[in-house]
Amino acid sequence: GSVPDGGTPCVKNALVSVLAAVPCGGKRKAWCWASYLEQEKAVAAPTKLFKEHQSFPQSKNGFRVGMKLEGVDPEHPSMYCVLTVVEVSGHRIRLHFDKYSDCYDFWVNSNSPDIHPVGWCEKTGHKPYPPKGLKDEEFNWPSYIKLCKAQAAPKALFENQNTTVTPSGFRIGMKLEAVDKKNPTFICVATVTDMVDSRFLVHFDNWDESYDYWCDATSPYIHPVDWCQKNGKILTAPPGYHNAKNFSWEKYLEETNSLPAPARAFKVKPPHSFQKHMKLEAVDKRNPMLIRVCTVIDTDDHRIRIHFDGWTDEYDYWVDADSADIHPAGWCAKTGHPLQPPISPQEVQTICPTPGCKGVGHIKGARYSGHHSAVGCPYSDINVNKDSFLPDRLSGEMPATISVVVRTRRGESVPDIASFASEPESQQERVVKQDITMACTRSCVDCVMRYWQILQMLCRSLQQALHQSVFMPCSSPSASAPFCWDQHSKLLPTVAGITASKVAEWSVEQVTHFIQGLPGCKEHVRTFKEEQIDGEAFLLLTQVDLVKIMSIKLGPALKIYNSILMFKTAEDSYNEL
* Residue-level pLDDT at 26: 40
**pLDDT score of 409:** 36
- CATH among 2.30.30.140, 2.40.110.10, 3.40.47.10, 3.40.228.10 for 67-162: 2.30.30.140
State the Cα–Cα distance between residues 455 and 451, nearest whole angstrom. Answer: 6
| Protein fold of 8-45+274-335 | SH3 type barrels. (2.30.30)
Cα–Cα dist 75/48, whole Å? 31
Beta strands 128-129; 76-89: pairing state = parallel
Q: How far apart are the first and last CA of the chain?
A: 53
- What is the structure's pLDDT at 376? 76
Q: What is the DSSP letter of 210?
A: G
What beta strand segments (E) does 241-322 contain? 278-283, 291-299, 303-308, 317-320
* Domain residue spans of the chain: 8-45+274-335, 67-162, 175-261, 365-467, 477-576
Q: What is the pLDDT of residues 296-313, one digit of tens each?
A: 999 999 999 999 999 999
Q: Which residues pair with 179 in a beta bridge?
A: 187
- H-type helices in 336-484, by residue range? 417-420, 425-428, 435-437, 442-470
State the average pLDDT over residues 15-25. 43
Question: How does residue 57 score in pLDDT terms, banded at 50, 70 and 90?
Answer: very high
**Rounded Cα distance, 360 and 28, in Å:** 21
The domain defined by 477-576 carries CATH number 1.10.150.50: yes
Beta-strand (E) ranges in 300-432? 303-308, 317-320, 326-327
Which CATH class name applies to 175-261?
mainly beta
pLDDT digits (tens, 9 = 90+) for 165-202: 666 899 999 999 999 998 899 999 999 999 999 999 99
**CA distance linking residue 372 with residue 362, whole number of Å:** 9
β-sheet bridge partners, residue 147: none
Residues 6+ apart with CB under 8 A from 550: 373, 375, 524, 527, 531, 541
d(CA 3, CA 391): 35
Query: Under 8 Å CB-to-CB from 92, ≥6 apart: which residues?
Result: 61, 107, 108, 109, 110, 335, 337
- Give CA–CA dist 256/254, Å, rounded: 6
Q: 260 near 225, Cβ under 8 Å?
A: yes
Cα–chain center distance at 474: 42
Size of the chain in residues: 577
- Beta partners for 111? none
pLDDT at 350 over 60: no
Confidence band of 316 (pLDDT split at 50, 70, 90): very high
Model confidence at 425: pLDDT above 50: no
Continuous segment of H or E residues that includes residue 576? helix 554-576
Q: Are the CB atoms for 286 and 389 separated by under 8 Å? A: no
Chain segment 192-237, per-residue pLDDT in tens = 999 999 999 999 999 999 999 999 999 999 999 999 999 999 999 9
Average pLDDT over residues 566-576: 71
pLDDT tens, 24-54? 544 446 899 999 999 999 999 999 999 999 9
pLDDT of 539 higher than 60: yes
Q: How far apart are CA 80 and CA 139, in angstroms?
A: 14
Residue-wise pLDDT tens digits, 482-535: 344 444 444 455 566 688 888 888 999 999 999 988 888 988 998 898 888 888
Write out the E strands in 284-398: 291-299, 303-308, 317-320, 326-327
Distance separating alpha carbons of residues 9 and 148, to the nearest angstrom: 45
Question: Over the stretch 229-268, which tens digit does the pLDDT of each residue have?
Answer: 999 999 999 999 998 999 999 999 999 999 999 999 999 9
**Same fold: 8-45+274-335 with 477-576:** no
DSSP assignment of 31-92 equals --HHHHHHHHT-EEPPGGGS-TTTS--SS-----TTEEEEEEETTEEEEEEEEEEEEEETTE
Residue partners of 438: CB distance under 8 A and separation at least 6: 183, 186, 207, 239, 409, 410, 411
pTM score: 0.65
pLDDT at 382: 66
